[in-house]
Amino acid sequence: MTASWIVSGCSSSNGARDRAAVFAGSWYSGTEKELMAEVDGYLAQASLVGATDQPRPVALIAPHAGYRAAGTVTGYAYKAVQGIPYERVVVLALSHGYPFQGVSIDDVDSYTTPLGTVPLDIETCKKLREHPLVRYVPEANAQEHSLEIQIPFLQRALGHFKLIPITVGDMKDAEFKEVANLLKPLADEKTLFVASSDFTHFGPRFQYMPFRDNFQKNIALLDKSAVNAIIHLDVEGFNRVLEETQATICGRNPIRLLLMSLPANSEGCLVKYDTSGRIFGDPSNSVSYAAIVFRAYPDYLNETEQKTLLKFARDTIAAYLKGQPLPKIPPEQLTERLRKPSGAFVTIHVKEPYQLRGCIGSVYASRPLYEDVQENAINASTRDPRFRPMTPDELDNVQIEISVLSEMKTVNSYKDIVLGTHGIVLKKGMNRALFLPQVPWEVGWEIEETLSHLSQKAGLSADAWKEGATFEVFTAQVFHE
């Protein structure tokens, strides 16, 4: 199959309605043999990031630039799901050239690329389109690449599956929640979600130049501040980054909808990041690409448990500051996960302006989680030596965040540390220090810079980590009010 005879929206000889490839031969290879070799090559050069015994991915974020630019990063995303027998894939894409309200689902029977035809989950598509926010907008996807470009990677990584192609337009916050509630029941072990997005578009070509030097470092810092919110399903934090930086992340709406549709016990991991500025040697005009993999962890707290723990922390702080008896969690809400011994950190932020107000926690599991949260809620609000104790009149202007820590694991080398996913404990002699997973990305450090700061936090020289130090890592489920 070549690009010369591919026409969008044609019907096959048996009357089936097909959305044929538009960008084969331009954004990616146009013949079956070439495209198979191209995609397989990117998958082969990618490596799996993280432990091999993790749960199967529930979702990906993958770039939608042409394969020559973003194929390597895209390969890392799809490497995580290669060979897994998903029956259905929900792709959340965007319309670059045709603005519209709500979401659009193509009213066709299949999608075709040079690698073959992918059938739609027609029954589910029809049911979703019964909702007033969901319709078929032909102009939104007829000449749009952001959805189509995911299909060849899905074909080679998964083999057979049914597709639900969703193009996400503009919506109000309440409308995003409404559509997310439609999609949540689809998030089962046989379904993969994919959000299609590139990240920062920087330079005069894109009319976005928030800084004039250190392009690569500043772009990475900007992107990873967004990624840090994304991997913790923090829609509010993601929106705050976009508002404060005006970051040109084109797939912001597919990402928002994805984060609101996933199970509350999901967490993401950045598995690959790059920029066209580095790839092509022109940092003055650069597009960023990120591959993010989400997994649902059975031991993580569900949405109800998160809300219970956050309310408990707030009620504890309020009672302590007012000199009242400390609250208790009703027995019927005290689940096994809340009773399980776990380390936890309680972080308090002022909402306006958004800034740290206190953060104290326990590294190791020594008591039930709910007891640990209660004690550290008191500590973070009144005993953090960096801040004066809170007063009751501050309660309405703070946001409480809880980080529930996994068990510590010793790693053989600092090279096994995955920034943004792993919290780090550095030990050398009697000296030790800890960073939560989100810390390096909040300030833009790479691994060696992170370990230098961690050494100094432990009271050592900046290069003390290079010899004689040991490292423990942990993950954290992070959630806030």
State yes or no: pLDDT of 377 exceeds 60.
yes
Sheet holding 431-435, edge to edge: 409-411, 470-474, 423-428, 431-435
pLDDT of 7 reads: 31
Average pLDDT estimate for 256-280: 95
Q: Are residues 359 and 274 in the same domain?
A: no
- Say which DSSP state 282 is in: -
Q: Which of 48-52, 138-142, 289-293 has the lowest mean pLDDT?
A: 48-52
Based on the fold, state whether residues 420 and 307 are members of the same structural domain. Answer: no
- Are 42 and 175 in the same domain? yes
Same-domain pairing of 104 and 253: yes
Q: 56 pLDDT exceeds 80?
A: yes
Question: Which whole number is the average pLDDT over 421-441?
Answer: 90
**What would the mean pLDDT of 347-356 be, rounded to a whole number?**
93
Of residues 372 and 420, more confidently modeled: 372
Q: Give the domain extent around 331.
A: 303-401
CA nearest to 137, candidates 93, 197, 182, 187: 93
Quick one: pLDDT at residue 51?
64
Specify the CATH number for the domain of residue 476.
3.30.1490.150
* Same domain, residue pair 49 and 193: yes
End residue of a domain, out of 264, 296, 328: 296
218 lies in the same domain as 335 = no
Asked if 137 and 260 sit in the same domain, the reply is yes
**Does 280 share its domain with 420?**
no
Pick 363 or 169 by higher pLDDT.
Answer: 169
What pLDDT score was predicted for residue 363? 87
Residues β-bridged to residue 426: 433, 471
**Residue that is last in its domain, among 370, 401, 432:** 401
pLDDT at 127: 97
User: Over 80: is that where the pLDDT of 72 sits?
Assistant: yes
What is the percent of the chain with per-residue pLDDT over 90, rounded to a whole number?
84
Say how many Å lie between the first and final Cα of the chain, rounded. 52
CB atoms inside a 10 Å sphere around CB 463: 12
pLDDT of residue 11: 45
The token pair that represents 307 in the structure block: 């809300």
Q: Are strands 134-135 and 103-105 parallel, antiparallel or unpaired?
A: parallel
Are residue 389 and residue 416 in the same domain, yes or no? no
Whether the per-residue pLDDT at 10 is higher than 50: the answer is: no
Residues 309, 210 within the same domain: no
**Average confidence (pLDDT) over 101-120:** 96
Question: Taking Cα atoms as reference points, which of 72, 115, 400, 92 lies closest to residue 255?
Answer: 92
Last residue of a domain, one of 374, 401, 428: 401
292/420 same-domain check: no
- How many Cα atoms within 13 Å fall on the side-chain side of residue 145? 16
Average pLDDT taken over every residue of the chain: 92
Residue 28: pLDDT over 90: yes
| pLDDT one-digit tens code per residue, 193-226 | 999 999 999 999 999 999 888 888 889 989 999 9
432 DSSP β-pair partners: 427
Asked if 345 and 315 count as a contact pair (C-beta separation under 8 A), the reply is no
Domain count, the chain: 3
| Sign of the alpha-carbon dihedral angle for 459, 463, 466, 468 | negative
Per residue, what are the HEC states of 170-181? ECCHHHHHHHHH
Contacts of 424 (CB under 8 A, 6+ apart): 417, 434, 435, 450, 451, 454, 471, 472, 473
Q: What is the pTM of this model?
A: 0.87
How would residue 284 be classed by pLDDT, with cut points 50, 70 and 90? confident
Strand segments, DSSP code E, in 13-102 are 18-20, 57-62, 88-94
pLDDT at 14 exceeding the cut of 50:
no
The mean pLDDT value for 56-77 works out to 97
Q: According to the model, what pLDDT value does residue 48 have?
A: 84
- Give the model's confidence band at 9: pLDDT under 50 very low, under 70 low, under 90 confident, else very high: very low
Alpha-carbon separation of residue 384 from 302, 308, 356, 479 (angstroms):
29, 24, 11, 20
Name the residue with tokens 């423990």. 472
Q: What is the pLDDT of residue 15?
A: 52
CA 258 to chain centre: 9
| pLDDT at 454 > cutoff 50 | yes
Q: In the prediction, which pLDDT does 50 show?
A: 67
If asked whether residues 267 and 128 sit together in one domain, one would say: yes
- Mean pLDDT throughout 411-432? 91
